[in-house]
Chains A and B, each alone.
Chain A
Amino acid sequence: MNVFFKAPGLASPPAGVSRRTILRAMGGVGIGLVIGADLSLSGGAAQAAETATADINPFVRIAPDGTVTVIIKHLDLGQGTTTGLTTLVAEEMDADWAQMRTDFAPNDASRYGNKIFGGAQGTGGSTAIAASFDVYRKAGASARAMLVAAAAKAMNVPARTITVAGGKLTSGSKTLTFGEVAEAAAKEPMPQDPPLKASRDFALVGKDKLPRTDNVLKTTGKAIYTQDIKLPGMLVAVVAHPPRFGARVAKVDDAAAKAVKGVEGVVTVPQGVAVLARSTYAAMKGRDALNVEWDEAAAEKRGTDALRAEYKAALGKKGTTAETEGQVEAAFAQQGVKIVEADFEFPFLAHAPMEPMNCVVQITGDKVEIWNASQFPAIDTPTAAAVAGTTPDKVKINGLWAGGSFGRRASSTADYVAEAVAIAKAHGKGVPVKLVWTREDDMKAGSYRPMYMHRVKAAVDASGKPVAWKHHVVGQSLITGTAFEGAMVKDGVDATSVEGAAEMGYAIPNRLVELTSTKVGVPVLWWRSVGHTHTAYAVETMIDQLAKAAGRDPVAFRMELIKDPRLKAVLALAAEKADWGKPLEKGRFRGVAAHKSFNTYVAEIAEITMLDKGYKVDRVVAAVDCGVVVNPDVVRAQVEGGVGFGLGHAMQAAITLTDGAVDQANFDTFEPLRMSQMPNVEVHIVPSTEAPTGIGEPGVPPIAPAVANALFAATGKPMLNLPFNRQTIGS
């Protein structure tokens, strides 16, 4: 174990901010950010210059002042991973919460890979805690063991006499702090299998008392995002992208753009035409002054109407079998069965995280340095290397806070990173370049949740038991043509297109799930909860239609059909907490949905009030089982946020195309949920000792069908097209 002595200025910053990040954001030495930012930070940096910080292991660093910095290997896009992973280390080290700090890991899969992704470095699929629970506990436990070993030598006592609590090592009357023995501890051998605490001994994990590590930074404007990076000599690039996907630059007249004050250059890259300027506003003005002719020969020119007609036709043909059980056609042909059929339509959706995509790149010789809230360093690193014409080991990515993602920063093609590198390379002056997408650029850039259509045909027998379910999904594959194809597409079936419909949670003896993957020139990408965004909707609203056909209560109907006891338990808990079955006042209705995704179980019950025109969602009661909970308040927050995120899109958001061009541009036409539309959300957690599973996404899938089922209860009409505002609701 080597001790790594930090260069001057790398003292431990407040939780969540990398010192390097701050210094670079300040322009190295700059007066820049220091004014108006926290002056004490720069003072602290100067003082810490003479002292050493010890790297105990790849995840734990201890400074002489006793601060423990946890190296976070997953992108924190708001889901609270930084808080969760820090909790695990503090728990096993017996540290004091106040001494904990965080920093983001660089791109280095050998130390920071994700075991669920086969060791590739990245964040997604709600895997951060699931994949790293043991990794961070072990890192904390081994750091503790090394501190104890070093303290035993320093105090000249046997190691077994030492107790650790609150960041202090005590033996009899002797006490040392973590900071005092850190340097010596780093030289101790690293234990291979350090003993971990039994869960009954947890003092922090699962306890409702730790504040988020990023609370102060994010309420004072001090958290640094990619958008906030400023480097000496940096230029800002704003790009004219083609109006249709697949179009190319044919001819550029950049005279007017170059005449804009502050513009330093105009370059053409495969993605479009970039204007580089000394300020963001000058770059935007320069971009507006460009005159570009586009070659649209290879462009996608179909609009939403044309796709709808093609998808509808595909629904009538046979798809590729994704899952089959029993004899579905024979079951439909039985005497006395009641058949329910429905076609569903789901629109393209933009991720539209609050921070539009951006990326800072500096190319120096064969080296590429990137500042980016990178969600998939495993994709961003080789892509940047290929575009720059160098090797991946020459690419360094500096991590930052992400202003949301919902999957967008986990681009399977590293699209915006590749664009930023291409611009820096084409400009060729070696200065840092910050690519900035405006909201309009971000919304029109594609990488959408694909448009899908589903056809579901299901039957209940005379006793009201579902006997057959046939489900056909039509839409683009997220995976085909990406680096993930080999692992995730089997026999022509992209598992992410049918997950949630295949392996459904209900015991129905005869089932067939089919998939038709379409070829459309619109880039698509996973979007918070991936395939479950549409499959859970079709399944859960269809179950309510079947319950109605069988004359049954939707909760009781589900309880009899659900196979997995954990799904049953969340449904029972939500029903109890929501007073399911107790009559509501006139004009108010309930709807329910329960769904497992990313190995986490969530049930949600929505209460709505029907208005003269439309409806309002008043209250949502959720129950969740995600195994062992590291931080209950973070779990609640993710479910609350998942409910709001899912609800806004279900109610009113869609990306549509006219002759291939995207109709929406900003938040006036792609309408996000707003404060006045947010229901009251209550989240109940099922206590569990199972292995921890994800929480960033599983709150999303049940909300749209729960509200749709409440509307179905109110109007008697199933909601088949999303978003709901495509239909007139209410009188």
Chain B
Amino acid sequence: MPITLSINGQARTVEAEPDTPLLWVLRDELDLVGTKFGCGQALCGACTVHVDGMAVRSCQTAVGDIGESKVVTIEGIGSREAKAVQAAWQDLNVVQCGYCQSGQIMSAVALLTDNKKPTDSDIDSAMDGNVCRCATYHRIRAAIHDAARRLEA
């Protein structure tokens, strides 16, 4: 059935069963492949997107449940927080294989939008759902603090 979604500020109509995970609609129907498939079970965070500003695992979000909510993917971020996060990530050479990093960045942007000066333990709780098998955690933590400093300026 046709379903209309708000994706990155645009109304997009797709042909999909309502139980289809948002992840597969983004990737297979809308060609927004920056959002990654890692586990399919809300265990790794690679598929994280923003739904009304909240970090959400798109692999466990059915398209039929989204309604009017606004979905933003890695391709559509552009807020001050997003720019600070991407700049910090690039300056600190955070990425390795990079496959988890769209999800990491989406979680970090949601955290900083909510909390301008996260502590280490705020970072632990916001980011523990995002697995990085390359274990870039140490730099992700530093980059979130760095982005927070950029936002202060």
Residues of A within 8 A of B21 (CB): 281
Docked complex Cα distance between A589 and B2 (Å) = 61
Docked complex Cα distance between A644 and B101 (Å) = 16
Docked complex Cα distance between A450 and B76 (Å) = 43
Residues of B within 8 A of A432 (CB): none
Docked complex Cα distance between A225 and B38 (Å) = 13
| In contact, A227 and B96 (Cβ under 8 angstroms) | no
Among B24, B29, B74, contact of A220 (Cβ-Cβ < 8 Å): B74
| In contact, A281 and B41 (Cβ under 8 angstroms) | no
Docked complex Cα distance between A402 and B100 (Å) = 11
Docked complex Cα distance between A588 and B83 (Å) = 40
Docked complex Cα distance between A511 and B43 (Å) = 46
Give the Cβ gap from B13 to chain A, nearest Cβ, in Å. 13
Give the Cβ gap from A676 to chain B, nearest Cβ, in Å. 4
Categorize the interface residue count of chain A: 35 or more
| In contact, A666 and B133 (Cβ under 8 angstroms) | no
| In contact, B138 and A354 (Cβ under 8 angstroms) | no
Give the Cβ gap from B131 to chain A, nearest Cβ, in Å. 5
| In contact, B43 and A667 (Cβ under 8 angstroms) | yes
Give the Cβ gap from A400 to chain B, nearest Cβ, in Å. 11
| In contact, B33 and A33 (Cβ under 8 angstroms) | yes
Interface window among A123-131, A208-216, A294-302: A208-216
Chain A 102-139 near chain B by CB (<8 Å), digits 1 or 0: 00000000000000000000000000000000000000
Within residues 174 to 227 of chain A, which ones have a CB less than 8 A from any CB in chain B?
211-212, 214-225, 227
Chain B residues touching A, majority SS: loop
Which among B17, B38, B90, B135 has the greatest number of chain A C-beta atoms within 10 A? B135
| In contact, B135 and A643 (Cβ under 8 angstroms) | yes
Docked complex Cα distance between A719 and B100 (Å) = 32
Within residues 630 to 688 of chain A, which ones have a CB less than 8 A from any CB in chain B?
633-634, 637, 640-645, 647-648, 666-668, 672-676, 678-681
Among A212, A218, A643, A645, contact of B133 (Cβ-Cβ < 8 Å): A645
Docked complex Cα distance between A674 and B137 (Å) = 8
| In contact, B34 and A439 (Cβ under 8 angstroms) | no
A221-B131 contact, Cβ under 8 Å, with A281-B24, A354-B100: no
Give the Cβ gap from B88 to chain A, nearest Cβ, in Å. 9
Question: What residue of chain B has the Cβ atom nearest to residue A30's Cβ?
Answer: B31
Chain B 112-131 near chain A by CB (<8 Å), digits 1 or 0: 00000000000111011011
Tell yes or no: A84 within 8 A of B by CB: no
A678-B133 contact, Cβ under 8 Å, with A78-B96, A355-B36, A355-B38: no
| In contact, A680 and B138 (Cβ under 8 angstroms) | yes
| In contact, A439 and B31 (Cβ under 8 angstroms) | no
Within residues 34 to 66 of chain B, which ones have a CB less than 8 A from any CB in chain A?
34-41, 43-44, 46
| In contact, B89 and A219 (Cβ under 8 angstroms) | yes
Residues of A within 8 A of B101 (CB): 218-219
Docked complex Cα distance between A212 and B130 (Å) = 22
Docked complex Cα distance between A641 and B97 (Å) = 11
| In contact, A354 and B141 (Cβ under 8 angstroms) | no
Give the Cβ gap from B19 to chain A, nearest Cβ, in Å. 9
Chain A 19-42 near chain B by CB (<8 Å), digits 1 or 0: 000000110001011011100000
Question: What residue of chain A has the Cβ atom nearest to residue B126's Cβ?
Answer: A675
Docked complex Cα distance between A154 and B90 (Å) = 40
